[in-house]
Amino acid sequence: SARWMQWRYKGANPPGEAREDLWIISKLVLELKGLYAGEGGPTAEAITKLSWDYGDPPDVHKVAKEINGYDLSTGKLLPSLTKLKADGTTSSGNWIFCGSYTEEGNMAARRDPVDTTGIGLFPNWAWAWPLNRRIWYNRASVNLDGEPWDAKHPVIKWDAVANKWVGDVPDGGWPPFNASGKYPFIMKKPYGRAHLFGMGRVDGPLPEHYEPWESPVKNFMSSVEFNPVCDLWETSERGTP
């Protein structure tokens, strides 16, 4: 999928009583809100005070904007997940999709067939999460000076004059190591580098492997066959009325 978020339009009316997913979900939410309002229940306010103002039928564009997220102080759509804050002044239904529907429009609906990169990225066709980055870990395609290992097919390249990366959205937007002293890998702070094994786990660098409970094969990795904390319960024999 290349993590592409591609906007789709209805091709035909559904047969019979079939409905689109959003219509079904919206009807369920509205019905549940009505039931909880009338009958109450544990933590009822989590349902009754849930904001669900997308209309009936629901406005898919309004939902997409909520998924992207807003700057709540200005009411404007957020341009990027880098603008999200933990102080309650921003919102996002799903942070990895932040940037998919901005003040510039619906990024997922873009259909520019021109590849400006020359390597098949097509950055203006739809939108890729996160940040419209087309290739994950693309900082691995350059050396410590930000020069591409393959100069003929650069994914990204450091422009020292403009003090920025050109090409794909960099996976780690700070300058290259020899200019900043900072490693590129973003997911393992503070190391800045990837690891072959997970760090800091009680069961060692390689997490324990368990076979599924119903597995017909023996677990050769461990003397413990399956997850010791899984719940097993009695079931009826097959065919029991």
What is the pLDDT at residue 54? Answer: 95
What is the pTM assigned to this prediction? 0.78
Residue 224 lies in a domain: no
Residue 185 lies in a domain: no
Phi and psi for 67 in degrees, rounded to 5?
Answer: -65, -40
pLDDT in tens, 119-171: 999 999 999 999 999 999 999 999 999 999 999 999 999 999 999 999 999 99
Single-letter amino acid code for the residue at 161: V
Domain that holds residue 87: 4-109
pLDDT in tens, 52-96: 999 999 999 999 999 999 999 999 999 999 999 999 999 999 999
Structural domain count, the chain: 1
Residue 130 lies in a domain: no
Q: What is the dihedral of CA 123, 129, 130, 134, to 10 degrees?
A: -40
Residue 238 lies in a domain: no
Residue 189 lies in a domain: no
* Ranges of H-type helices in the chain: 21-39, 45-48, 60-68, 177-180
pLDDT in tens, 184-227: 887 655 566 766 666 677 766 777 788 888 888 888 878 888 88
Q: Which of 203, 209, 206 is nearest to 222 (CA)?
A: 209
* Distant-in-sequence, close-in-space partners of 180: CB < 8 Å, separation ≥ 6: 174
98 and 66 Cβ atoms separated by less than 8 Å: no
Residue 181 lies in a domain: no
Residue 159 lies in a domain: no
Residue 227 lies in a domain: no
What is the pLDDT at residue 158? Answer: 98
